[in-house]
Structure 1
């Protein structure tokens, strides 16, 4: 290959000398067409050999490697998408379970609080009923005292009125006997 390159330089130098003598473009000189065609064929075959044996196989390997890498990446992406879908489904299931569990806990808490509230209401109702009975007892006692006090007051008042009217002092027992049928005893 190096020999061909050296020869190519020699021919180019010779063509340059000849062009300088002829005064025209060397590639258009019809006397050098055979040598130009020969070197064109040699150069073409050399480049063809280099391309066919060195460059194209490397390009093919690179293209194949890229295709393999793309295929691996697509497979990995599909696998990761499957894992993501599975994880998402598990997450949604866990979320649904958590919601169900939370609603169960909330329902249980509501029922517990309702039971506690009901028990507290019954306890307070019982306390109120006891206090009402005590109050009724006190009211009845106070009423009884008031009624007996009314009787005494009525007796005193009647004695005072009778004494003013007739001018005599009437005994309290007599006034009570007279007032008893009026009081309804």
Structure 2
């Protein structure tokens, strides 16, 4: 039994007679120095592992990501500038095409108008020629009708005079009809 007082003396108040811890060992005042020592050793080891291994790897991954993002942004800006240039070229080509289409349409209108003016002049000339021919034909028909009217008037006057029972010579009837026709 000589050993019991030694164990009790070494364990202090944190261990019971069977060698089991009493309460929470972290809160035992006799063991705090030992716990602080191992805590500092563990934190120093963790710090060196993080500083030498994990943090450089994390920093390289972050730098690589930043470089990729920067390159992607630069490429996007370059593509945007190219797209804007292409859009400006497209708008210019479209405006030029519209202007050329307007010019072609105006030239076509001018050609058609000139052709139409020529054809209208030809048609007017043909109409004028036909009108002159028609006027000549009408004048001929009028002259012929007047001549026929004179003949009919003389024949009718002679028939009327004969129907009235008066004898008149043809020269007197012709003179009377001529004087009436002239006015």
TM-score by length of 2: 0.83
Aligned to 2:75: 76
Aligned to 1:114: 113
Unaligned runs of 5+ in 2: 1-13
Shift of 1:24: 0.6
The SS at the match of 1:167 is coil
Residues 70 and 163 of structure 1: is their aligned pair in 2 closer, same or farther, counting only changes over 3 Å? same
Provide the C-alpha distance between the structure 1 equivalents of 2:119 and 2:36, rounded to a whole number of angstroms.
Answer: 117
TM-score by length of 1: 0.83
1:176 to 166, 174, 177: 174
Contact 2:16 2:22 in 1 (8 A): no
The alignment status of 1:167 with 2:172, answered yes or no, reads no
The SS at the match of 1:21 is coil
Residues 20 and 178 of structure 1: is their aligned pair in 2 closer, same or farther, counting only changes over 3 Å? farther
Contact 1:26 1:32 in 2 (8 A): yes
Contact 1:155 1:179 in 2 (8 A): yes
The number of residues matched between the two structures is 170
Query: 1:138-174: per-residue Cα shift (whole Å, max 9, x none)?
Result: 1011101110110011001110121123432643x54
Unaligned runs of 5+ in 1: 1-14
The SS at the match of 2:164 is helix
Shift of 1:100: 1.0
Provide the C-alpha distance between the structure 1 equivalents of 2:100 and 2:130, rounded to a whole number of angstroms.
Answer: 44
RMSD: 2.5
Contact 1:19 1:26 in 2 (8 A): no
Q: Superposition pairs for residues 103-142 of structure 1, below 5 Å? A: 103-142=102-141
Query: 1:20-46: per-residue Cα shift (whole Å, max 9, x none)?
Result: 723210100122212211211121011
Contact 1:19 1:25 in 2 (8 A): no
Shift of 1:17: 10
Aligned to 1:53: 52
The SS at the match of 1:23 is coil
Residues 144 and 34 of structure 1: is their aligned pair in 2 closer, same or farther, counting only changes over 3 Å? same
Aligned to 1:89: 88
Q: Superposition pairs for residues 23-34 of structure 1, below 5 Å? A: 23-34=22-33
| Off by >6 Å, runs of 4+ in structure 1 | 15-20
